[in-house]
Amino acid sequence: MNPHAERVNRALNSLQIELPSWGFANTGTRFGKFLQPEAAATIEEKFADAAQVRALTGTTPTLALHVSWDLPGGLRETSKIIELEAQHGIRAGSINPNLFEAQQYKYGSVCNPDPAIRKMAVDHLLESVEIAKALRSRDISFWLADGSNYPGTQSIRRRIDWMAEALSEVHESLGADQRLLIEYKPFEPAFYHTDLADWGMSLLIAREAGPRARVLVDTGHHYASQNIEQIVTWLLREKMLGGFHFNDRRYADDDLTLGSIDPYQIFRIFHELLSDPTAMESTAFMIDQSHNLKGKMEAMVQTVCTAQEIFAKAALVDREKLAILQDECRLVEAEECLREAFWSDVRPVVRDWRSSRGLPEDPLAALRASGYVERIRSERGARNARSVVTYA
């Protein structure tokens, strides 16, 4: 028996990853979209695709929902979601409000100088909380696109106060078992100042909002070369880490598949999480990716499999030995202790873990062999072709 099997099995049994509904749909860049014939266009199709990923990987029990895209009718559509949960064996996961698409939000949502628009944004957040209650969802995942593009055009100080007031009101509406996860992003769509630009701002505003607010870390929402695992460690120490949006990037918020650019960074983040005995109970692992060139189903399965393998590597770090080496400042040996786990080939153990749970040893190969992508491409292709946008 592989000596690493027990540690890997224990780690993989604890790993639960939430899929994003929008990861199965046609998305794009600010310049346009490249449509895929198999892309999901309805909430029913998104649940079906998520169920297929779970059947192949065994570790994705929930589907994050975007209120404006998945529940355009708001609270009255939750009964349909509950039916889809029962049909597909996938639960509704985090509920994601939308404060960045309405024309009224041109100058901000909860930070808008117009009190009527701020109320509109807060009302949407409050409805998102009620949707989460109806669906028994713990987390309301909040990303604020607010900001400004030119110096002097907005009062940074007043916008902080408006934001704090809004989030405190939303926090008051939370159920006893619910959380408000507050995401940050340094730039885009705002390019002079973003109202929630980094983890420190999110930490401060979460504390001001109330005890059930936490910080959400998106691995793509950082400046180049920023030490994300250090941020994770600080948030763990402060008991303020709520969850992750996992993806990868080369330049900024590229939303590439996990580990496609820097798998060692993901490994280092997982190592810090596994170094905290309480982290796995309180941290939500969510995927947030846009698959414009890769096939959506293949990319999602590939991402989950990559997460499993890198998480298994992180589980192999000999933390007791590492602590001794760190205390004695044996730098090369300490680094090699970490690198030894990263370079371990865990694929045979992960395959055995899958087999023991009745899962395909190679989920990507199983997806290709299943004919699922070909079937949905045939069923959805004609409709999606009619959605093609042409530019003069």
C-alpha angle 212-215-216 in degrees, rounded to nearest 5 = 120
pLDDT at 392: 36
Residue 350 domain flag: no
CA separation for the pair 26, 296 (Å, rounded): 9
Residue 380, phi then psi, degrees to nearest 5: -105, -15
What mean pLDDT comes out for the span 235-249?
A: 97
- The DSSP string of 281-321 is HH-EEEE----SSS-HHHHHHHHHHHHHHHHHHHHT--HHH
Q: pLDDT tens digits, residue range 271-305?
A: 999 999 899 999 999 999 988 899 999 999 999 99
pLDDT at 2: 72
Provide the whole-model pTM.
0.96
Give the domain CATH number at 221: 3.20.20.150
Residue 252 domain flag: yes
Residue 260 is classified by DSSP as: S
CA separation for the pair 247, 256 (Å, rounded): 6
CB count within 10 Å of CB 362 equals 15
CA separation for the pair 24, 47 (Å, rounded): 9
pLDDT at 347: 97
- What are the residues whose beta carbons fall under 8 Å from the beta carbon of 351, sequence distance 6 or more? 361, 362
pLDDT band at 388 (very low <50, low <70, confident <90, very high): low
Q: pLDDT tens digits, residue range 165-200?
A: 999 999 999 999 999 999 999 999 999 999 999 999
Q: Which residue type does 145 have?
A: A
Residue 267 domain flag: yes
Residue 383 domain flag: no
Q: pLDDT tens digits, residue range 32-82?
A: 888 899 999 999 999 999 999 999 999 999 999 999 999 999 999 999 999
Residue 93 domain flag: yes
- When divided into structural domains, the chain yields a total of 1
Query: What pairs with residue 139 in β-bridges?
Result: 179
pLDDT at 290: 85
Residue 63: which of 28, 12, 24 has the closest Cα?
24
pLDDT at 4: 82
Residue 360 domain flag: no
pLDDT at 390: 42
- The DSSP string of 325-351 is HHHTT-HHHHHHHHHHHHTS--HHHHH
Residue 167 domain flag: yes
What is the rounded average pLDDT for all residues in the chain? 96
Residue 370 domain flag: no
- The DSSP string of 133-188 is HHTT--EEEEE---EESSTTSS-HHHHHHHHHHHHHHHHHT--TT-EEEEE--SSS
pLDDT at 34: 84
List the domain range (segments joined by +) for residue 226. Answer: 13-315
Q: pLDDT tens digits, residue range 85-108?
A: 999 999 999 999 999 999 999 999
pLDDT at 170: 98
Q: Which residue has the tokens 């939430």?
A: 18
C-alpha distances in Å from residue 49, one per residue of 1, 23, 27, 40, 145:
35, 10, 16, 8, 29
C-alpha angle 115-118-121 in degrees, rounded to nearest 5 = 155
